[in-house]
């Protein structure tokens, strides 16, 4: 019992000395490149483009929350919550058959696109010097997606909840006083792909708080029997990073 207690005390001391908590808050503006949809894919459904065939409703202001736990200096475990919802509206430019429902040309349609992301990431820093940090890891992502079309009389939607394994990369260079860094998740192969990368810089405001700003790209989709959907969204982002 004494050995067990001694081991627990040593572990607690180790964690207190070598562990670091990080809270990363991010927001900004989103600018859509494309959002092409055909659901179901292998059917007489109509392919349409949210951003070309309909009007975006208001600015898209996303936010993200990431909590990180660094231990043993070179290991990072983090959890991310990144919701995203986009509203569209407009008259159908042609007949649209979606999820077995026919939306006739000229009908006023409300469109909704949701792509919420929940991720757990483990990354290890392979290079860690005074200037450079290079790391690689694995991300387990759960996507919660929805595509919906509706009018006053009709409504159809497609929900997609699934698991996606991704590779995680991180690279940073410290200029002394501020740093430039690239981080993100991505993987391509088979019928789909997913990329989410941020490049920017961060400047310390206090000993524990930093300001970050940069560009994020979110791109991907799938071409399978149930769904054809590929989306590109660009983000101009700012955020705060708090370290304990």
Note the helical H segments in the chain: 2-18, 50-53
DSSP 159-217: EEEEEEEEEEEEEEEE-SS-EEEEEEEEEEETTEEEEEEEEEEEEESSSSEEEEEEEEE
**What's residue 15's pLDDT?**
42
Provide long-range contacts, Cβ within 8 A and 24+ apart, for 52-55. Answer: 53/90, 53/92, 53/93, 54/88, 54/89, 54/90, 54/109, 54/111, 55/88, 55/89, 55/90
pLDDT over 90 (residue 81): yes
Q: Alpha-carbon distance 104 to 75, whole Å?
A: 55
Express as a percent the part of the chain with pLDDT over 70.
Answer: 92
pLDDT over 60 (residue 87): yes
pLDDT per position as a tens digit, 24-36:
999 999 999 999 9
Q: How far is CA 69 from CA 24, 44, 96, 211, 228, in A?
A: 11, 49, 47, 19, 37
**What's residue 190's pLDDT?**
81
pLDDT over 90 (residue 108): yes
The average confidence (pLDDT) of the chain is 92
DSSP 54: S
pLDDT over 70 (residue 139): yes
**What's residue 196's pLDDT?**
98
Give the contacts of 240 (CB within 8 A, at least 6 positions apart).
Answer: 24, 25, 209, 210, 211, 212
**What's residue 9's pLDDT?**
40
Q: Which two tokens stand for residue 91?
A: 């008259």
Mean pLDDT over residues 112-125, rounded? 98
**Closest to 198 (Cα-Cα) out of 179, 215, 218:** 215
**What's residue 189's pLDDT?**
85
Q: What is the reported pTM?
A: 0.89
For the chain, the first-to-last Cα distance in angstroms comes to 33
Q: Alpha-carbon distance 54 to 40, whole Å?
A: 20
Give the contacts of 25 (CB within 8 A, at least 6 positions apart).
Answer: 63, 64, 65, 239, 240, 241, 242
pLDDT per position as a tens digit, 31-77:
999 999 999 998 899 999 999 999 999 899 999 999 999 999 899 99
Buried b (16+ CB within 10 A) or exposed e, 76-89: bebebebebebbbe
pLDDT over 70 (residue 16): no
Q: Which two tokens stand for residue 180?
A: 């430039």
pLDDT per position as a tens digit, 189-207:
888 999 999 999 999 999 9
**What's residue 41's pLDDT?**
94
**What's residue 10's pLDDT?**
41
Q: What is the homologous superfamily of the domain 2-243 according to CATH?
A: OMPT-like (2.40.128.90)
Q: Alpha-carbon distance 37 to 46, whole Å?
A: 8
Domain borders along the chain are 2-243
Lowest mean pLDDT among 13-27, 89-103, 216-230: 13-27
């Amino acid at each position: 019992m004494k050995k067990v207690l001694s081991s627990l005390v040593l572990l607690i001391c180790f964690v207190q000395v070598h562990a670091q908590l990080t809270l990363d808050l991010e927001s900004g503006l989103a600018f859509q490149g494309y959002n092409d949809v055909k659901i179901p894919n292998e059917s007489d459904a109509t392919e349409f483009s949210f951003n070309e065939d309909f009007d975006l409703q208001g600015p898209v202001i996303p936010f993200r929350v990431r909590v990180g736990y660094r231990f043993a200096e070179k290991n990072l475990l983090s959890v991310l919550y990144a919701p995203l919802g986009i509203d569209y509206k407009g008259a159908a430019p042609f007949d649209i058959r979606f999820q077995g429902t026919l939306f006739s040309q000229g009908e006023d349609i409300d469109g909704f696109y949701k792509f919420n992301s929940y991720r757990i990431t483990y990354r290890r820093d392979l290079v860690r010097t005074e200037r450079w940090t290079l790391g690689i890891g694995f991300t387990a992502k759960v996507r919660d997606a929805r595509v919906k079309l509706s009018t006053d009389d009709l409504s159809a939607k497609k929900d997609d909840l699934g698991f996606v394994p991704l590779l995680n990369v991180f690279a940073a260079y410290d200029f002394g006083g501020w740093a430039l860094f690239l981080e993100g998740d991505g993987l391509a192969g088979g019928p789909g792909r997913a990329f989410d990368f941020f490049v920017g810089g961060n400047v310390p405001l206090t000993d524990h708080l930093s300001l970050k700003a940069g560009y994020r790209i979110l791109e991907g989709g799938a071409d399978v029997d149930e769904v054809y959907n590929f989306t590109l969204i660009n983000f101009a982002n700012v955020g705060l990073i708090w370290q304990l």
